[in-house]
Amino acid sequence: MLESWRWFGPSDPIPLNYVRQAGATGIVTALHEIPNGEEWPSAAISERRDLIQNAGLDWVVVESIPVHEDIKCGAPGWERYAHIWAENLSRLAQQGMRNICYNFMPVLDWTRTDLNYPMPDGALALRFEFAAYAAFDLFILKRESAAQDYTPNDLEMAERWLAQSNAAQRDRLTETIVAGLPGSEESYTLDTLRTRIAAYDGMNHAGLRAQLGAFLDIVLPVAEQEGARLSIHPDDPPRDLFGLPRVVSNKDDLAWIASYNTSPANGFTLCVGSLGVRADNDILEIIDSLGERIHFAHLRTVKREADPRDFHEDSHLAGDTDLVAVIRALLDLETRTGTQIPMRPDHGHRILYDLDRESTPGYPAIGRLRGLAELRGAAAVLAGRYVNGT
């Protein structure tokens, strides 16, 4: 596998020379400074590519070209944004960046309720707590008709969380959810979040699938023409949020996407952590069934808690998913297909000097360095490159 590292551009607190020292050779990035729905100038693409290459690295995956909300909710004129997306894809491919990760999560990208969850060893992790999320939805956001999405027990849990919280905790929860986590490219106020959610009124799973299909109808021919590959990212967490449908959450969803258009360009990002939130997602079976459609891998694990809707990011080789078995399956896939799959460590813990420094949530330097080293070691052993100490 090709060892890569997510980098958020020149403003990232982790410079490219640190990435080289971590041992990665590939960079996963995007033009994060350009607002959603706007064209990426060819000059800006080449400037970013040259900056990465001059540091001795390669831009191997574009993560991501954001999909404008009007596309997902089917707003009038959404096709214009899809054609802009396709044009950005074309410009990237013409300059050598042909692996494009994207997601189709309505309104909010990946979502957590705590960015500094204390682990037993003193590390800080990311966490999703269902009671906190429900309390935000019901009593802070006050989404219309939200109560119908919860059971009486859920409502009681949310009320208990709210009663036990203080103003600072509620403000921190609100900021964590509405500000947008790294890579989401969108942030909201409570009012604009309500408005954006309301744009999906009447949208169900079938409707969102239809919008995804219509989007693919526009962009896939361009990807095929340019020799590019699209790698849709699973929902995170892989379940409906805020009354909005999510349609990239389980094996059936992935199978529908694969069958909608059988082109190899219509592919997937295997995010083990996202899919692993659900116990009914068999990651090894997904790898076996998707085969050559997997173009990119996010390797991390999560630990489901007593309430299985609660989870936190665990160490890379811990958690509820056997990541060593996943690496073995991906290496076997590479052998069968004759391809190399870019992978990156994801959502590392804040450890050591990370604890004393500002870092992008989920993307500390040392926590990911540890994760990459663990993944590299496991892959080396499985590939037979470490024998008798050599």
Question: Is residue 101 over pLDDT 70?
Answer: yes
Across the range 92-115, mean pLDDT stands at 95
Tell me if 166 is assigned to some domain: no
Q: Is the peptide bond preceding residue 238 cis, with omega within 30 degrees of 0?
A: no
The CATH number for 352's domain is 3.20.20.150
Residue 31: burial class (beta carbons within 10 Å; 0-12, 13-18, 19+): middle
Residue 5 has pLDDT above 50, yes or no: yes
Q: In 146-288, at which residue ranges do the beta strands (DSSP E only) sit? A: 229-232, 266-271
Residues of the domain holding 49: 2-110+200-382
Average pLDDT over residues 345-353: 93
Give the whole-angstrom CA distance, residue 321 versus residue 330.
14
**Would residue 76 count as lying in a domain?**
yes
Assigned domain for 207 exists: yes
Give the list of residues 6+ apart from residue 354 with CB closer than 8 angstroms, or none.
Answer: 364, 365, 366, 367
- The answer as to whether 91 is a domain residue is yes
> Is 122 a domain residue?
no
Q: How far apart (Å, rounded) are the C-alpha atoms in residues 390 and 381? A: 11
What is the average pLDDT across 323-327? Answer: 96
- Per-residue pLDDT of 188-208, as tens digits, reads 899 999 999 999 999 999 999
376 part of a folded domain? yes
pLDDT band with cut points at 50, 70 and 90 for residue 390: very low
For residue range 129-183, list pLDDT tens digits in order.
999 999 999 999 999 999 999 999 999 999 999 999 999 999 999 999 987 655 5
Q: Which pLDDT does position 182 carry in this prediction? A: 59
**CA separation, residue 354 to residues 33, 149, 367 (Å):** 25, 38, 7
d(CA 303, CA 18): 29
Q: Active-site residues: which are they? A: 233, 271, 298, 346-347, 363
The answer to whether residue 84 scores a pLDDT higher than 90 is yes
Backbone φ, ψ for residue 60 (5° rounding): -100, -25
Is the pLDDT assigned to residue 185 strictly greater than 80? no
Within a domain: residue 179? no
Percentage of the chain beyond pLDDT 90 is: 92
Token readout for 275 is 């899919």
pLDDT range class, residue 239, cuts 50, 70, 90: very high
Predicted confidence at residue 133, as pLDDT, reads 98
Separation between Cα atoms, residue 307 and residue 293, nearest integer Å:
33
At residue 283, the pLDDT reads 97
Average pLDDT over residues 266-273: 97
- Residue type at 159? E
What's the whole-number average pLDDT of the chain? 94
pLDDT tens readout for residues 13-63: 999 999 999 999 999 999 999 999 999 999 999 999 999 999 999 999 999
Query: Can you say how many angstroms the Cα of residue 89 is from the centroid of all Cα atoms in its chain?
Result: 19
pLDDT for position 291: 86
Task: Provide the number of structural domains found in the chain.
Answer: 1
What per-residue confidence (pLDDT) applies to 389?
Answer: 47
Write down the pLDDT at residue 188. 87
Instruction: Please tell me the predicted confidence (pLDDT) of residue 314.
Output: 96
